[in-house]
Structure 1
Amino acid sequence: MAGSRNWADLPDEPTGLIAERVLAYDVVDCLRFRAACPAWQRCSVDPRAHGSLDRRFHPRRWTMLREEHAVPTRRSFLNTSTGECVQVKIPQLLDHHALALTPEGLLLLLDKPQRTAVRLLNPFTGQLTELPPFNTLLPHIAHYQQRDDDDFARIMTAWGSGLADDGSTVVLYLRNHHLIGIAKPGDDRWSLLRLRDNMLGKANIMFAGRFYCVTQDGVMVLQIDEGHPPRLEVAANLNMDVLLSVDYMHLVDNCGELMLVHRQRRDKHSNPTNKFNMWRRRYDTYRVDLDSRTLIPVKSFGGKGRAVFMGMYCSFSVSIESFPAGSVSADTIYLSFDFGETEYANVGAYHLTSGCLGRNSRRWGGLVPRPYTLVDCLSFSNTLEYSI
Structure 2
Amino acid sequence: MGNRRVALTRCSSSSKRRRGSSYWVPDLPEDVVNQIGWRVLAGDDGGILDFVRFRAVCRHWRYSTASPNGRGIADRRFHPRRWIMLPEGHNLHPGHGKLRGFIRFLNLTTGAIVRVHLPLFRDHCALDSVDGILLLQRDGDTAIRLLHPFTGDIAEFPPLDTLLPYVAHPLFMRNKWRCLRCVNAASISTTNDDNKTISLTMRLFGMVRVVFAAQGDKQWRLSTWPMQPDDHLSPLSFQGKIYVLRRLPNHGGDHQEILQIDPPQRTTTTMELSLPPPKLIAKCPAKSFHLVQCGEDIMVITLDFTHYPQMLVYRLSDLVLGIMVPVTCIGCDYSLFLGNRNLCVSSKAFPTIVGGTIVFYHNSECYLARYHIRSGTLSPKSDSDFIVRSKMSSPTGIIQHIYTCCFPSYWNKGHLASRREPNQWRVKRKWRHGVSLASGVIILFEHLLFFSSTTIRRSLQLIDILLIIGFFPNIKVICYLQS
Alpha carbons 1:203, 1:213 under 8 Å: kept: yes
Q: Distance in 2 between matches of 1:208 and 1:30?
A: 20
Quote the offset at 1:162 in angstroms. Answer: 1.9
SS at match of 1:260: strand
Question: Aligned ranges for residues 44-123 of structure 1 at < 5 Å?
Answer: 45-50=66-71, 52-69=73-90, 70=92, 72=95, 73-103=101-131, 105-115=132-142, 117-123=143-149
Quote the offset at 1:258 in angstroms. Answer: 0.3
Q: Looking at CA atoms only, which structure, 1 or 2, has the larger radius of gyration?
A: 2
Return the match for 2:189 from 164, 171, 178.
Answer: 164
Check if 1:263 corresponds to 2:303: yes
Alpha carbons 2:72, 2:151 under 8 Å: kept: no
Deviations 1:1-34 (A, max 9, x none): 6797331331475587658734642221244456
Q: Distance in 2 between matches of 1:232 and 1:155?
A: 22
Q: Aligned residue for 2:476?
A: none
Q: Aligned residue for 1:185?
A: 215
Deviations 1:145-204 (A, max 9, x none): x98xxx9568612252121375833222212434422222133433323311133x6320
SS at match of 1:68: coil
Alignment RMSD, CA only? 3.5
Q: Distance in 1 between matches of 2:348 and 2:140?
A: 44
Return the match for 1:28 from 28, 45, 49.
Answer: 49
Q: Distance in 1 between matches of 2:261 and 2:391?
A: 37
Alpha carbons 1:9, 1:39 under 8 Å: kept: no
Q: Aligned residue for 2:429?
A: none
Q: Distance in 2 between matches of 1:48 and 1:2?
A: 31
SS at match of 1:284: strand
Q: Aligned residue for 1:202?
A: 233
Going from structure 1 to structure 2, the CA distance change for 1:358 and 1:296 (only over 3 Å counts) comes to same
Return the match for 1:127 from 147, 153, 158.
Answer: 153
Quote the offset at 1:265 in angstroms. Answer: 3.9
Q: Which runs of 5+ in 1 are unaligned?
A: 243-247, 268-279
Q: Aligned residue for 1:286?
A: 314
Amino acid of the residue matched to residue 278 of structure 2?
A: L
Deviations 1:17-52 (A, max 9, x none): 658734642221244456678887677654334463
Q: Distance in 1 between matches of 2:362 and 2:9?
A: 56
Q: Distance in 1 between matches of 2:62 and 2:4?
A: 25
Amino acid of the residue matched to residue 331 of structure 1?
A: G
| Sequence identity (%) | 25
Going from structure 1 to structure 2, the CA distance change for 1:310 and 1:121 (only over 3 Å counts) comes to same
Amino acid of the residue matched to residue 380 of structure 1?
A: T
Going from structure 1 to structure 2, the CA distance change for 1:233 and 1:19 (only over 3 Å counts) comes to closer
SS at match of 1:129: strand
SS at match of 1:375: helix
Going from structure 1 to structure 2, the CA distance change for 1:90 and 1:3 (only over 3 Å counts) comes to closer
Going from structure 1 to structure 2, the CA distance change for 1:10 and 1:366 (only over 3 Å counts) comes to farther
Equivalent residue pairs, number: 355
Amino acid of the residue matched to residue 301 of structure 1?
A: I
Q: Aligned residue for 1:249?
A: 289
Deviations 1:313-361 (A, max 9, x none): 101112222333xx221210112xxx4628x432421111111112132
Q: Aligned residue for 2:475?
A: none
Going from structure 1 to structure 2, the CA distance change for 1:44 and 1:60 (only over 3 Å counts) comes to same
Q: Aligned residue for 1:374?
A: 398
SS at match of 1:92: helix
Alpha carbons 1:100, 1:109 under 8 Å: kept: yes
Going from structure 1 to structure 2, the CA distance change for 1:108 and 1:213 (only over 3 Å counts) comes to same
Alpha carbons 2:72, 2:148 under 8 Å: kept: no
Q: Distance in 2 between matches of 1:19 and 1:371?
A: 45
Quote the offset at 1:256 in angstroms. Answer: 1.1
Going from structure 1 to structure 2, the CA distance change for 1:349 and 1:192 (only over 3 Å counts) comes to same
Going from structure 1 to structure 2, the CA distance change for 1:189 and 1:3 (only over 3 Å counts) comes to closer
Q: Aligned residue for 1:353?
A: 374
Q: Distance in 2 between matches of 1:188 and 1:296?
A: 44
Check if 1:296 corresponds to 2:325: yes
Q: Report the TM-score, using the length of structure 1 for normalisation.
A: 0.78
Q: 216-225 or 119-128, which moves further after superposition? A: 216-225
Alpha carbons 1:263, 1:284 under 8 Å: kept: yes
Return the match for 1:329 from 354, 378, 382.
Answer: 354
Q: Which runs of 5+ in 2 are unaligned?
A: 14-25, 42-46, 96-100, 249-256, 268-273, 411-418, 420-463, 468-483
Alpha carbons 1:204, 1:211 under 8 Å: kept: yes
Going from structure 1 to structure 2, the CA distance change for 1:282 and 1:57 (only over 3 Å counts) comes to same
Q: Aligned residue for 1:316?
A: 343
Deviations 1:290-332 (A, max 9, x none): 2432433222114x62111121x101112222333xx221210
Amino acid of the residue matched to residue 203 of structure 1?
A: S
